[in-house]
Structure 1
Amino acid sequence: MARLTLNLLRRANAINPQLVPLLKATRSLQLAIAELRWIKQELPRSQWTDAIRKRAQLVPLQYILGSQPFGSLDILCSPGVLIPRWETEEWCMKLVDVLRSAAVSDISVLDACTGSGCIPLLLKKELPALQVLAVDLSDKALHLALENMRRANVTIDVQKVDVLNYNAVPEQRFTLVTSNPPYIPASDFDKPLLLNGVDASVRLHEPRMALVGHLEFYRALARDIVPACHSEGVVLELGYEDQYLETIANLPLNWSHGRYFDLAGNLRCAIAWKNGSSMECLGRLVNENQSHP
């Protein structure tokens, strides 16, 4: 993270004094200018001062503005629910393209740890024929997912389910399982960003429940939920190689798998599919043999 120098603060003040407190959060003059523009574009003038004050206290901009673009949707954001990230949006849009081009019919999707509902709602918005169930354990997340469903003008099923207890998963067949589960180990969550930890804004203001977790989620999804739901494909967001290895180690034997890397070159998803099934199309998402920045 860039250091705040007197010269940088003077430059910001010369442009607009309102940029100075924003620098505490952005550490970048360019980002501070962009955030000030968004605040003024999306909030009434009467809220600008309070918004800048909150941002200086590291409150995420999405909570202040109240939403975050996600594909063709504008997802409502509120404290207590994880903010959608561009990395998730990226693979979700590519998944839409793969499913659309494969022209597979009768696809049902289970999205586990759904949070704001951004993944299942975008899938349903872009592919209306999908049957979608979104599950989460957080009441705040479920409430927001329902709000976002109404905002997106689509209909999906939303239920309270603990994915670590597969007996609680509805006894239905789901062709595809998607999830962005908690994947930051507690030891990393408590570290500063410079030590491969988490940004202070995330630690202070986003829900630990949606962020902190590790191998147990990938084990449960691959070993328990996939067989119980007779699934033929999975797309699981992750952040560590051992989470990918845990996923493939617990999948049925007649499955193939591969890694998906995001635009920043980071390992981002475990992709897997049952051989000979309609979900073999997921292999098009695998890009581990391509060069990355």
Structure 2
Amino acid sequence: MLVLIAGITGFVGLPCSRSAFARGFKVRGLARNIDNLPEDVRSRLEGFETLSSPYDVAAMDRATKGVDAIICAFAAVPEMYMESQLLLIRAAERAGVKIFHATSWNYDWTLAPGSHELYDDMRGFSHHVAVSSTIKPIYMFTGAIAEYYFKRSPYDWDSETKTFNFHGPSTFPTRYTTADDIGNYVLEAITAPNAADGGFVRVQSFEASPEDIANTYNAVREGRVTAKLNCLGSVEDAEDKLNEGRAKYGKSGWYNFIRYVYQYHIPARSWDYEPVDVARFPNVKQTSLEEFFRGNPDV
């Protein structure tokens, strides 16, 4: 099987590539810069196409030629979610590809329209493709991506002070999926017998409240370092900050207030789902919170 991973240099694209290699598949990459790939991935690629811009149709046509399945892991920005992904699915149509896993690894963005600026783009993409394309994409709901929260979002986890910031009750659990588990779930989904039928997949690695995070982190680090909790206010406070941000910055300034979108809507259960499809993929071993902290000593 030859799999194209668009956005292969990203923190979802990379684990998808390693999961594909582990299954003996060939992998072709599509991204801005091959130099951003670690050597263990770069050296094993069947091929790589350089994306000169989000609208590089020629590169997309070259990348999709002859592949059996496509995983779109483009960056989390509106232009890539909507425009680049749509151009890629048109290239897939021209190439005759039937299996297409769309960028989608979040909470259930089919719920609560208008609650999240980028979720609305995902919803818009899925609707447009449903009414205009012969391809039926796979969409996967994973909750929060653990690596994003603990490695890329200082508003949630302050790596210097080892402080977890949150709104609402300290006992409310968030759903998380690790990047490695996402890679394995995605490869199971695109190789399932009904993969070309597309649809929505709902999975997770673990659930954890702020208290769970602090207690587990401290147990794993065995006193060498201590995690702290910082409650920023109530769920209603988060909603107020979100509304203030939207009023001040408008939709195009979404990056100024997006943290409050999550800190309000997750505990408000606006996009919650049940991970009912975990049982469909018994080959994926769910990573626990403890295993995540043990496997990421830099967190």
TM-score when normalising by structure 1: 0.40
Quick one: higher RCO (CA 8 Å, sep 6+), 1 or 2? 2
The structure with more radius of gyration: 1
